[in-house]
Amino acid sequence: MAATRAGPRAREIFTSLEYGPVPESHACALAWLDTQDRCLGHYVNGKWLKPEHRTSVPCQDPITGENLASCLQAQAEDVAAAVEAARTAFKSWSAHPGVVRAQHLVRLAKVIQKHQRLLWTLESLVTGRAVREVRDGDVQLAQQLLHYHAIQASTQEEALAGWEPMGVIGLILPPTFSFLEMMWRICPALAVGCTVVALVPPASPTPLLLAQLSGELGPFPGILNVISGPTSLVPVLASQPGIQKVAFCGALEGGLRLLIQESVWDEAMRRLQERMGRLRSGRGLDGAVDMGARGAAACDLVQRFVREAQSQGAQVFQAGDVPSEHPFYPPTLVSNLPPASPCARAEVPWPVVVASPFRTAKEALALANGTPRGGSASVWSERLGQALELGYGLQVGTVWINAHGLRDPSVPTGGCKESGCSWHGGPDGLYEYLRPSGTPAQLSCLSKNLNYDTFGLAVPSTLPAGTEIGPSPAPPYGLFVGGRFQAPGARSSRPIQDSSGNLHGYVAEGGAKDIRGAVEAAHQAFPGWAGQSPGARAALLWALAAALERRKSTLASRLERQGVELKAAEAEVELSARRLRAWGARAQAQGHTLQVAGLRGPVLRLREPLGVLAVVCPDEWPLLAFVSLLAPALAYGNTVVMVPSAACPLLALEVCQDMATLFPAGLANVVTGDRDHLTRCLALHQDVQAMWYFGSAQGSQFVEWASAGNLKPVWVNRGCLRAWDQEAEGAGPELGLRSARTKALWLPMGD
């Protein structure tokens, strides 16, 4: 028999039956860092870029603090070089057929598969996350993402006809992130033909490794470029000429909020605490820990949160097998936090769960929806009816019924409210990086002269402008709010001229108070309208179409006053009626079922209304543009506040007369007045869920800036005219996409 290798400890372990260390060797990660002489630069155009005279930041093991490498910090010229490389690469990458891109993505997936140990050990080493999570979760999903998007790329020419890639995408990554989050964004971007410049925070080697793996594949070196640098470079990247879109990426999953029904509170808390007691924490590279550590900063953050929660009267329970030294922190259960305390509103840090009780499912829904966040939620209930009620009612991007944290490349993942409105995965993820063919490229020169504080702040005063010599009957007067015409709060009016400069009529001068009233009315009407079946919504839109046709001669004559030929005016009315009918029919398809690998049961991809949608109509096509925007918005279940054409709002007001008799009050509200002022009021209203703006470049810039306040999705035209009478621009799929948001509802099954 060979020599004995047994250690002395077996005897003690036999009695204690404790767990031992299961170290995962990270030799290959260190060897990779050695190939760069422990000095990481940037990866641009298939080559390492290590410019001289740059400051560097150490990349440390978050647990031991050991220096692993130093990372060069980019400067503006490095960013420019990366964008230039991506622009050059875009020319050939986007010109290739989708099949070629598909092959490249599949090759990248295979390279990742071959070097997966390097990838997972490096990621776990530098982030401190449990290696098991990275190995069994992230790395596998990264490959699935590449394969899924390869399939999408290969069918792009047929499935996504009418769309073209945007161009160079700037991707901004937060200080703590998983490389998987980056994959969710770069896979669809690359698949549809975009190229990417990712700005990663200092000391994040994994994206650099991915870029290297991609770059070394050969023919398309510049499609994925990674530069590492401070957040001060974000505006530099965003304003580089050629950058068509800037995508942000969320931080790692934080803590959780847990709502437990009062009747099972004690039992559930007991079980939760019992289970927490069995969690193991330790070095991320240990194969048998449930959780790693996320470095000193994360640890300080959670310490502060728990201390504050305690001082605000919360009960804190901590348990688990956790090393006592910094930066490890035990799993923490916080309960009895007074609802009005600051901690109850604040974002919960990892690894904390804040539990609160509720009495009824209705109350649970109100509590869950009463936060500014809208990423994902899970519902645990054995009652199917109740679970579905909650699943449909939650205002989030993803709902898991009796499961948590499942993801799949074919299921769109996104959010609403302050969790952002972009989508990853599934068909929705592709559209993030596409634009309708023929749309002008985005010019990234933002006007520095726009004063956000004063834009649209004051309304120029208007005086009586002579006698009205309009056709009879007189045009309707007032703001159409809550189903009837109302006098404006300011009690003043603005004159509307016809094409020959004569006074056509007066319209009400709406203001901030009127916008507030209109948004309120729209909110009141929303639950009823959103709850209607698509068929019922279509019926109403068809009724409006019929009413429009009955009113054809009045509408046509008003258009004539605006200088439109009679024939063209009649055609515009007819086309408007057709648009209403078409959207009523299209919105019948409200989603579909996805089948996901490894999951028993369906995933429902739902299309849900956004809520209250603010629409600022263009000056041109006063009837057709108004109706073309109104129809999809209503068809998908939104209620609207609309600012009609500033040049001729009278057409919209004519339509309002029919809406007053046909529509429930508040469904559509129309506010006339100074466009800039009304735009300002709407964009700064926190309870408007989405905004479409078709006006000046300045107005577009203002809307985008102001909407950052509640992160609502916006659609602006940057001062470019649209051909509303053309099918693609006036009624294309883009309008449908922007009229609703997607929700993924996971329904695992089994008895």
Partner 1 sequence: MSAHNRGTELDLSWISKIQVNHPAVLRRAEQIQARRTVKKEWQAAWLLKAVTFIDLTTLSGDDTSSNIQRLCYKAKYPIREDLLKALNMYDKGITTAAVCVYPARVCDAVKALKAAGCNIPVASVATGFPAGQTHLKTRLEEIRLAVEDGATEIDVVINRSLVLTGQWEALYDEIRQFRKACGEAHLKTILATGELGSLTNVYKASMIAMMAGSDFIKTSTGKETVNATFPVAIVMLRAIRDFFWKTGNKIGFKPAGGIRSAKDSLAWLSLVKEELGDEWLKPELFRIGASTLLSDIERQIYHHVTGRYAAYHDLPMS
- Among positions 362-391, residues that touch partner 1 (CB under 8 A) are 380, 382
Q: Of the two residues 214 and 281, which places its CB atom closer to partner 1 in the complex?
A: 281
Q: Closest approach of Cβ 749 to partner 1, in Å?
A: 7
The residue (of 290 and 725) whose beta carbon lies closer to partner 1 is 290
Q: Which residues contact 168 (CB under 8 A, 6 or more apart)?
A: 83, 86, 87, 90, 194, 195, 196, 197, 242, 243, 244
Stretch of residues binding partner 1 (CB under 8 A), selected from 93-101, 204-212, 288-296, 433-441:
288-296
Judged by CB under 8 A, which of 385, 460, 466, 750 binds partner 1?
A: 750
* Alpha helical stretches, state H, 432-565: 512-530, 534-550, 552-561
Helix residue ranges, H only, 277-421: 295-311, 342-345, 361-369, 384-393
- Stretch near partner 1 under the rule CB under 8 A, chosen from 8-16, 153-161, 183-191, 631-639: 8-16
Kindly state whether residue 595 participates in binding partner 1, applying the rule CB under 8 A: no
Q: Shortest gap between Cβ of 402 and partner 1 (angstroms)?
A: 5
Minimum CB separation of residue 184 from partner 1 in Å reads 22
C-alpha torsion sign, points 583, 586, 588, 589? negative
Contact region with partner 1 (CB under 8 A), list: 5-13, 390-398, 693-701, 710-718: 5-13
**Structure letter (DSSP) for residue 500:** T
| Interface residue with partner 1, options 30, 403, 512, 543 (CB under 8 A) | 403
Nearest distance from C-beta of residue 22 to partner 1, angstroms: 5
The separation between CA 589 and the C-alpha centre of its own chain, rounded to angstroms, equals 22
Nearest Cα neighbor of 124 from 138, 140, 107, 104 is 138
B/e letters for 683-704, b = 16+ CB within 10 Å, e = fewer, are bbbeebbbbbbbbbbbbbbbbb
Minimum Å distance from CB 593 to partner 1?
Answer: 17
Of the pair 58, 601, the CB lying nearest partner 1 is at 601
In angstroms, rounded to a whole number, what is the distance separating the alpha carbons of residues 527 and 277? 43
Q: How far is the CB of 210 from partner 1 (least distance, A)?
A: 24
Phi/psi region, residue 591 (left: phi>0; alpha: psi -120 to 50; beta: rest), is left
Burial class of residue 412 (count of CB atoms within 10 Å of its CB; 0-12, 13-18, 19+): buried
> Between residues 448 and 600, which has the closer beta carbon with respect to partner 1?
600
Of 160-168, 248-256, 285-293, 481-489, the segment contacting partner 1 by CB under 8 A is 285-293
Residues 92, 113, 116, 402: which binds partner 1 (CB under 8 A)? 402
53 binds partner 1 (CB under 8 A): no
Could you give the CA distance from residue 572 to residue 415 in angstroms, rounded to a whole number? 37
- Residue 36 or 378: the one with the smaller Cβ distance to partner 1 is 378
Of the candidates 114, 278, 307, 484, which one interacts with partner 1 according to CB under 8 A? 278
Please pick, from the candidates 175, 489, 601, 733, the single residue that binds partner 1 as defined by CB under 8 A.
601
3-state helix, strand and coil shares in percent for the chain, rounded to the nearest 5: 40, 20, 40
Least distance to partner 1, CB of residue 286, Å: 10
Q: Does 273 bind partner 1 (CB under 8 A)?
A: no
User: In the bound complex, what is the minimum distance in angstroms from residue 264's beta carbon to partner 1?
Assistant: 10
Q: Is residue 7 close enough to count as binding partner 1 by CB under 8 A? A: yes
Q: Which is nearer to partner 1, 11 or 448 (CB)?
A: 11
For partner 1, which is the closer residue by CB, 15 or 447? Answer: 15
Out of 65, 287, 313, 370, name the contact with partner 1 by CB under 8 A: 287
Beta carbon of residue 455, minimum distance to partner 1 (angstroms, whole number): 52
Whichever of 14 and 232 has its CB closer to partner 1, that residue is: 14
Distance CA 272, CA 626 (A): 54
Neighbour count for residue 565 (Cβ, 10 Å): 11
Q: Is the dihedral of CA 564, 565, 566, 571 positive or negative?
A: negative
Work out which of 53, 448, 491, 600 binds partner 1, going by CB under 8 A.
600
Residue 322 beta carbon to partner 1: minimum distance, rounded to whole angstroms = 15
Kindly state the tokens that stand for 531. 């709850």
Nearer to partner 1, 53 or 600 (CB): 600
What DSSP character marks residue 229? Answer: -
Give pairs for 554-561: CB < 8 Å, separation 24+: 554/654, 555/623, 555/651, 555/654, 557/471, 558/471, 558/475, 558/648, 558/650, 558/651, 558/654, 559/622, 559/623, 559/651, 561/470, 561/471, 561/498, 561/499, 561/504
Residue 745's closest CA among 409, 390, 431, 421? 390
Rank residues 321 and 418 by Cβ distance to partner 1 and give the closer one.
321
Task: Pick one of 8, 339, 473, 501: the residue that binds partner 1 (CB under 8 A).
Answer: 8
| Beta carbon of residue 353, minimum distance to partner 1 (angstroms, whole number) | 17
- CA-CA distance, 61 to 42, in Å (whole number)? 20
Of positions 238, 251, 288, 585, contacts partner 1 by CB under 8 A: 288
In the complex, what is the shortest distance from the CB of residue 135 to partner 1, in angstroms, rounded to a whole number?
9
Q: What is the DSSP string of 187-212?
A: HHHHHHT-EEEEEE-SS-HHHHHHHH
Distant-in-sequence, close-in-space partners of 6: CB < 8 Å, separation ≥ 6: none
When the beta carbons of 94 and 116 are compared against partner 1, the nearer one is: 116
Q: Is 748 a binder of partner 1 (CB under 8 A)?
A: yes
Interacting positions 9-38 with partner 1 (CB under 8 A): 9-14, 17-22
Shortest separation between residue 120's beta carbon and partner 1, angstroms: 14
Shortest spacing between CB 25 and partner 1, in angstroms: 12
Provide the minimum distance between the beta carbon of 385 and partner 1 in the complex, in angstroms, as a whole number.
Answer: 14
Site string for partner 1, 675-714 (x = CB under 8 A): ----------------------------------------
The 3 state secondary structure assigned to 113-159 is HHCHHHHHHHHHHHHCCCHHHHHHHHHHHHHHHHHHHHHHHHCHHHH
Looking at residues 113 to 152 of the shown chain, list those that interact with partner 1 (rule: CB under 8 A).
132, 136
Nearest residue (CB) to partner 1, 290 versus 704: 290
Of 591 and 601, the one with the shorter C-beta distance to partner 1 is 601
- Cβ 321 to partner 1 shortest distance, Å: 11
Is residue 337 within 8 A of residue 344, CB to CB? The reply is: yes
Strand order across the 714-716 sheet:
484-486, 479-481, 668-670, 639-643, 612-616, 690-693, 714-716
> Rounded to the nearest 5°, which phi and psi values hold at 551?
-90, 10
- Answer whether 117's CB lies under 8 Å from 29's CB: no
- CB 271, min distance to partner 1, A: 9
Do the Cβ atoms of 192 and 160 come closer than 8 Å?
yes
Site size toward partner 1, by CB under 8 A = 39
Q: Are strands 332-335 and 315-318 parallel, antiparallel or unpaired?
A: antiparallel
Contact residues for partner 1, defined by CB under 8 A: 1-14, 17-22, 132, 136, 270, 274, 278, 287-290, 380, 382, 402-403, 600-601, 748-751
